[in-house]
Structure 1
C-alpha cells in the first residue's frame, strides 16, 4: 500500500512539474538579441547524427527567428517572428518524382539542427539589387561591420525583397553529402515573386553554422513555400538587423 501511494505521488509530481527543455550547445548574446544553437552542420551532414535534440514547441517565442532541420532530416524548419514554417520532401509513388509539402508546427516536432534567435527590435537598411548570393553577403557584411557587429559571432538577419530567381531545397530524410545514395532533396525555385529570407550571418563558421563557401545560413519563405537557400538573385532587397541603438 505504501509503495502504491509513493508511485501515485511520483506520477502526480511529474504532471505538475514543467517539462524540461534540452539545453543549447551554445548561446551568444548581443546588445539586443540572443542566439542559441543545437547541433552543427558537421555533426548532422558529415557524421550523420540526426536524432532529435530539442522540442521546437518549447523554445519558439513571438520574437523568434531561426533555421534548422527536423529530427531524422524529415524536413526544413524556418521561423519568422514566432511563426514556424515546416517543409518536408518525399517521393511521389505515382510519378517517382520528389515533391514538397508545407505544414504548421506540431507539438511533437523536434530539431536535430537549430539556430534560433530572440530579437525584440529590428532596424531596416536598403541593400538594392543583388545579382548573386555572394554579392548579397558582401552587402550584409558591410552593413554589419559599419554598425559595429562582431562578424565572427552569429547575427540574426532578415531580408525582404523581390526575387529574380531564388533556388532552394527541402531535405527529404537523407543528406546528399553524408549519404550520396540516399533520397535526394526536393528542389524548387521562386521566380519574379516577393519573398523573405531569414537566418544568421557569421564568418569563419563553415561546417558549424554555415555551408562551405558561404558566410550565412538562410532559408526562404514565399507564400506557402519554404526551404534552405542555394542561390540568390534579387531585383530589390531590404536588410533587417537587430537594432542596437535609436537612430
Structure 2
C-alpha cells in the first residue's frame, strides 16, 4: 500500500493534539503519555520543525521516549531522563550530538514511568512477533492495550537492521521507490549481534501517527559503539531479541 493511502485514513486517530508547535498529547487515564508531532505530518508532509526542547521534557524525572531531531537531523532516545542523540556526519559515519538547552525534536513519543514490571523472555522473539508479545504481556499486567504505552527491553539482540535518519525517511523512500539524494541518505546498518537496550512505544492501530505502516511498534536501539565507546541510537526496522532478555512494562 502506498504511503499516501495510509495518510488519507489517519484523520480520526485517537491521540488528540493541542497547539501545533508545542503539543501535549491527551493522556490515557492512569498513564502519563506524551506526543509531539505525528508521523504522517513530520515525514509524509515534511513538517519537521522543532516542537519540543529535550531539556524541557526531562525536567520531570523518569521520562522514556523515542523521536527524531528537528529537520530530521538524527535520532533521539531518552532512557530514564538521559537523552542520547545520534547524527550522520558528512562522511556517512555516526556521531553523538551534544544536548543543548535549544536542541529540539520534530517528532517525539514517550511517557513518564516510575515503576516497571519485569517479564523475562526465555525464547528468541523476532520483530514480527513483538506485537503479539506486547499485547499478551500487557494484558497480563493489566495495561490498556487500546492506548499507547512505553516499553524497554534489556539484553542481547541479533540481526538488527536499523537506520539513523538524515533529512529524509528511508522507510518512506523505499515504499515510494524513491532514491534519496546524497545529502539526505541515512546511516543504515545490520548488526549480527549487539547488547543494549530497546526503548519504544507500543501503539495499536496508530500507523502513520505514532508508528510506521505495518507495525504497532516504534522502537530505538541504544548501544555502545565498540570503536569510539560512544552511546549511539537508531531506529530499529527488524531484529531478533535473543533468549534471556527482559521486557519492562509500566507498572499499573
The structure 1 residue matched to 2:247, chosen from 217, 239, 245, is 239
Quote the Cα distance in structure 1 between the aligned partners of 2:117 and 2:23: 27
Quote the Cα distance in structure 2 between the aligned partners of 1:155 and 1:143: 12
How far off its partner does 1:100 sit?
A: 1.3
Q: Is the 8 A contact 2:68 2:74 kept in 1?
A: yes
The residue number in structure 2 matching 1:130 is: 124
Report the structure number with the largest CA radius of gyration.
1
Segments ≥4 residues shifted beyond 6 Å? none
1:201–1:218 CA distance, 2 compared to 1 (3 A): same
The residue number in structure 2 matching 1:194 is: 195
Q: Is the 8 A contact 1:127 1:139 kept in 2?
A: no
The residue number in structure 2 matching 1:213 is: 214
The residue number in structure 1 matching 2:62 is: 63
The residue number in structure 1 matching 2:232 is: 225
Q: Does 1:165 pair with 2:166?
A: no
How far off its partner does 1:204 sit?
A: 0.4
SS at match of 1:134: helix
How far off its partner does 1:38 sit?
A: 0.6
How far off its partner does 1:187 sit?
A: 1.0
Unpaired segments of 5 or more residues in structure 1?
1-21, 93-97
SS at match of 2:123: coil
Correspondence list, 1:148-187, <5 A = 148-176=142-170, 177=172, 180-182=179-181, 183-187=184-188
Q: Is the 8 A contact 2:200 2:217 kept in 1?
A: yes
How far off its partner does 1:163 sit?
A: 1.4
Unpaired segments of 5 or more residues in structure 2?
1-20, 225-230
Between the two proteins, the alignment pairs up a number of residues equal to 217
How far off its partner does 1:91 sit?
A: 3.1
Whichever structure has more strand as a proportion of its residues is 1
Q: Is the 8 A contact 2:63 2:81 kept in 1?
A: yes
SS at match of 2:90: strand
Quote the Cα distance in structure 2 between the aligned partners of 1:175 and 1:230: 12
Q: Is the 8 A contact 1:165 1:234 kept in 2?
A: no
How far off its partner does 1:43 sit?
A: 0.3
Q: Give RMSD over aligned pairs.
A: 1.7
Quote the Cα distance in structure 1 between the aligned partners of 2:122 and 2:149: 20
SS at match of 1:42: helix
The residue number in structure 1 matching 2:78 is: 79
